Amino acid sequence: MSLRWRSNGDLLCAAKTLDEPNDTYIDDRLHYKLSVELKVVIPRDDEPRSGVWNWVEKKQ
């Protein structure tokens, strides 16, 4: 699953959203690396409906 990183900072499922000017496209391979291997992005609880993903906050 690909993601769109909006210029306002939103991280969205690319399949569930339309592209907008200045979006950065995150392809399937990089999304896998970020979510599964590095665990730095996670889906919001309502992601199946909203398509929203979040960056994991750094633990102190």
1-60 pLDDT, tens per residue? 899 999 999 999 999 999 999 999 999 999 999 999 999 999 999 999 999 999 998 776
Is residue 7 situated within a structural domain?
Answer: yes
> Within 1-60, where are the H helices?
28-32, 47-50
Two tokens, residue 53: 């993903």
Number of folded domains that form the chain:
1
The answer to whether residue 60 sits within a structural domain is no
Structural domain range at position 45: 3-55
Q: How far, in Å, CA of 42 to CA of 47, rounded?
A: 9
pLDDT at position 60, please?
Answer: 62
